[in-house]
A and B are shown apart, each in its own frame.
Chain A
Amino acid sequence: MSPHRRVISLAALTGSLLLLASCGSGSSVAGEGPSANDAACDAAAHPEASSTFPVEIDHALGTTTIEQAPERVASIGWGNQDVALALGIAPVGSDDQTWSMTGDEGLGLYDWTLDAYDELCAPEPTVFETADGVDFEAIADAQPEVILAGYSGLTADEYETLSKIAPTVAYPEIPWYTPWREAIEIDSAALGLAAEGDELVADLDQRIAEATADIDSFEGKTAAFFYVTPSDLSVISIYATGDARTAFLGDLGFDFPQLALNVSEKGEFYTDIAAENADIIDDVDVMVLYGDDQVLAEMQDDPLWSTVPAVQNGAVVAVGSGDAFSGSVTPTALSIPWMLDDYVALLDDAASHVE
């Protein structure tokens, strides 16, 4: 190797080391400790774990043992941080919830999550970037003692790598297919707060019952969650009943249309049908979909979509796209109370259009 080439390869090596070192810096770093001048914050303390450690948790990717009550919690995937926060534990790091954000104002966490940090007087977490997969380096930097991923899409390889950082709890059975109750169940068990998790579920069920107590328009009607692309109305995409978004419509008291049931039976989380076959969804009373107010008008202008009774009647709820509300309808422990009343009102309005 000539001296000249040696210099080049040295430079290349240094360059790549610098690059490696800077990889983690894309994530914002959490401050140390709660803000001391807030008197109310002194009262905030970790909840006492109800389970006796070690706890063992079976999930789709193996069995995880957590030896002692975790102080530092990391959350990846969707909404798992909300479970911990609802139980009084503020994760030191969390995946960004980009999944339904536009990215215009920077990416990160939704209001209901940040509000909970405020209430617990906890410092805002490190936000792990999800754009190019699991942000292992940032997660390791956060030095978690447990990693919550009860609602996520971890692969076996990712799970193995994460398990070297800290005990990791994956989804119960199917990636990205964890109903919110099960997400609370598995995440709370990992925190040693299984009993508190059950209470949280009961509390949320109570809230849902209260919010829908005076509503009689949902009874005996079907509802499903759809994905509509206004620029190409030749395709109708419908989510299966097990998808968290559709399942929540069931929690509110709706029945499911046959197509959503069929898709679930096949083990898929959504399916596309051609608009030519729009009569397949004739039994849908209320359609929920992403998009703005214009979407319904565009669907009504389309000859095929306009044959669907729900579209004719205007029994359509557009939840927006890329904003907080459209994110909240994929329910989490904290987004449910945040959106419940508004969502029920929108659905009630749509259901009243059903003929």
Chain B
Amino acid sequence: MIVVAIGGVVLVVIAVAASLAFGSRAVTLGEIAEGLGAWLRSDVAERIGAIAVAERIPRTVLSIVAGAALAVSGAVMQAVTRNPIADPGILGVNTGAALFVVCGIAFLGATTTFDYLGLALVGGALAAVIVYVVGSIGPGGATPIKLALAGAAMTAALSSLVSAVLLPRLAAMNDFRFWQVGGTGGADWEAMAVVAPLLIVAAVVATVCSGGLNALGLGDDVARALGVRVGLTRAVAASAGVVLCAAVTAIAGPIAFVGLMIPHAVRLVVGPDQRAILPLSALGGAALLALADTLGRVIGSPGEVEAGIVTAFLGAPVLVVIARRTRMRAL
């Protein structure tokens, strides 16, 4: 466990270094030093290479934070729904956020990261609440299977609404498509400062819940016998997962596969203890997204390939390998 944790930290450090040093522009060591130095002095560098390096700092921070948050969110969702391939999207968070962003662009003239942030947060949270309420109706309360079904139905309904609002408004479509791909290019300290407290609170709540989530993994009846308040634990943990995902989605767009793949992979390595899965997922997610973003910048040069596309590229084959080579660890 400690070895794995150290490995995770090393991986994150490598990812950060790579993200600063490599990008769509090849920069020299001198420019890297100049860029970092200028940034530390809150100065603007002279050479464009150095400016580019300085500009990689906020997006590296964003990819680290977003990757960690998405992976933790995924881990929580997988535990709450007892579905090993669940991800934050399973409660309709992504599509709920997307619908609100679209309506904001189409009807309210939203254009800035800041606008998207508020809209995505409200939309994602609202969708999750509705899914949770619908999934809780009937005997047994919010069982994993009912949550998954309600989430899938909600996602289908919301995506049609997104299309309905978007299709006749091609100008809005142009704004939306940049957000919708999912990437860290729009990294902006102000927006990050707004979501940071949300992310910290949600991460703490998720960590506190991890013991309860372990009990839920044994089945609702056993958990109840152990004295865990099943419904409450599930609701609180799910809220933390939703906030983590929605806040990240707001500033980086919907980034797929990190929340799905990382906790799954971590569970294969360290077993089913949520107290280990959550922090290790954070490390893994941070490293993955930072590396994906760097890779996307390098292979796309002189343009860029958005991190959301690279994670999907990396994620799909990894998931196939995992699914084929090992029996899925049941939750």
Which residues of chain A have a CB within 8 Å of any CB of chain B? Answer: 98-103, 107, 129, 131-132, 227, 229-235, 271-280, 303-304, 307, 321-322
Q: Would A274 and B170 count as touching, CB distance under 8 A?
A: no
19 other A-B residue contacts (CB within 8 Å) besides A232-B185, A304-B48, A307-B48: A98-B170, A100-B171, A103-B168, A131-B168, A231-B111, A231-B113, A231-B116, A231-B175, A232-B183, A232-B186, A234-B55, A234-B185, A234-B186, A271-B303, A274-B303, A275-B55, A303-B44, A303-B51, A304-B52
Chain A, residue nearest B39 (CB): A303
A233–B51 Cα gap in the complex (Å)? 14
Is residue B300 within 8 Å, beta carbon to beta carbon, of the partner chain?
yes
Give per-residue flags for B178-217: 1 if the beta carbon is below 8 A from chain A beta carbons, else 0: 1100010110000000000000000000000000000000
Known interface pairs A231-B112, A303-B54, A307-B51; A272-B303 also in contact (CB < 8 Å) = yes
Q: Would B111 and A303 count as touching, CB distance under 8 A?
A: no
B110 shortest CB reach to chain A, Å: 9
Is residue B59 within 8 Å, beta carbon to beta carbon, of the partner chain?
yes
Is residue B169 within 8 Å, beta carbon to beta carbon, of the partner chain?
yes
Contacts of A304 in B (CB 8 A): 48, 51-52, 55
- For chain B, the count of residues having a C-beta within 8 Å of the partner chain is 35
Is residue B243 within 8 Å, beta carbon to beta carbon, of the partner chain?
no
B75 shortest CB reach to chain A, Å: 29
Q: Would A231 and B167 count as touching, CB distance under 8 A?
A: no
B51 shortest CB reach to chain A, Å: 5
Contacts of B186 in A (CB 8 A): 231-234
Q: Would B48 and A279 count as touching, CB distance under 8 A?
A: yes
A182–B48 Cα gap in the complex (Å)? 41
A132–B23 Cα gap in the complex (Å)? 38
Q: Would A276 and B116 count as touching, CB distance under 8 A?
A: no
Contacts of B167 in A (CB 8 A): 131-132
> Contacting B300 at CB < 8 Å: which of A101, A227, A274?
A274
Can you list 10 pairs linking A and B with CB atoms under 8 Å apart? A98-B169, A103-B169, A107-B168, A230-B112, A233-B186, A274-B24, A274-B297, A274-B304, A276-B24, A276-B297
Chain A, residue nearest B54 (CB): A303
Q: Would A98 and B168 count as touching, CB distance under 8 A?
A: yes
CB interface residues, B 151-185, toward A, < 8 Å: 167-172, 174-175, 178-179, 183, 185
Chain B, residue nearest A294 (CB): B111
Contacts of B300 in A (CB 8 A): 274
A220–B288 Cα gap in the complex (Å)? 48
Q: Would A99 and B302 count as touching, CB distance under 8 A?
A: no
Contacts of A101 in B (CB 8 A): 169-171
Is residue B275 within 8 Å, beta carbon to beta carbon, of the partner chain?
no
A102–B113 Cα gap in the complex (Å)? 20
A208–B6 Cα gap in the complex (Å)? 69
Contacts of B179 in A (CB 8 A): 231-232
Is residue B106 within 8 Å, beta carbon to beta carbon, of the partner chain?
yes
Closest 9 CB pairs of A and B: A234-B185, A274-B24, A322-B171, A232-B186, A276-B25, A276-B52, A103-B169, A272-B303, A131-B167
Contacts of B52 in A (CB 8 A): 276, 304
A232–B297 Cα gap in the complex (Å)? 15
Chain B, residue nearest A227 (CB): B174
Contacts of A233 in B (CB 8 A): 185-186
Q: Would A272 and B169 count as touching, CB distance under 8 A?
A: no
Contacts of B171 in A (CB 8 A): 100-103, 321-322
- Specify which of A234, A271, A272 lies most central, judged by the most chain B CB atoms within 10 Å of its CB: A234
Q: Would B303 and A235 count as touching, CB distance under 8 A?
A: yes
Contacts of B28 in A (CB 8 A): none
B226 shortest CB reach to chain A, Å: 47
Contacts of A272 in B (CB 8 A): 303-304
B121 shortest CB reach to chain A, Å: 16
Contacts of B54 in A (CB 8 A): 303
Contacts of A275 in B (CB 8 A): 55
Known interface pairs A234-B304, A277-B25; A102-B55 also in contact (CB < 8 Å) = no
A254 shortest CB reach to chain B, Å: 23
Q: Would A277 and B24 count as touching, CB distance under 8 A?
A: yes
B93 shortest CB reach to chain A, Å: 20
Contacts of A274 in B (CB 8 A): 23-25, 297, 300-304
Contacts of B169 in A (CB 8 A): 98, 101-103
A181–B259 Cα gap in the complex (Å)? 52
A98 shortest CB reach to chain B, Å: 5
Contacts of A280 in B (CB 8 A): 302
Give per-residue flags for B34-73: 1 if the beta carbon is below 8 A from chain A beta carbons, else 0: 0000000000110010011011000100000000000000
Contacts of B113 in A (CB 8 A): 231
CB interface residues, B 227-270, toward A, < 8 Å: none
A232–B307 Cα gap in the complex (Å)? 13
B182 shortest CB reach to chain A, Å: 11
Contacts of B51 in A (CB 8 A): 303-304, 307
Chain A, residue nearest B301 (CB): A274
Contacts of A229 in B (CB 8 A): 175, 178
> Contacting A230 at CB < 8 Å: which of B23, B111, B301?
B111
A103–B106 Cα gap in the complex (Å)? 8
A139 shortest CB reach to chain B, Å: 18
Contacts of B44 in A (CB 8 A): 303
B206 shortest CB reach to chain A, Å: 29
A272–B59 Cα gap in the complex (Å)? 19
Contacts of A232 in B (CB 8 A): 178-179, 183, 185-186
Known interface pairs A274-B25, A277-B25; A235-B185 also in contact (CB < 8 Å) = yes
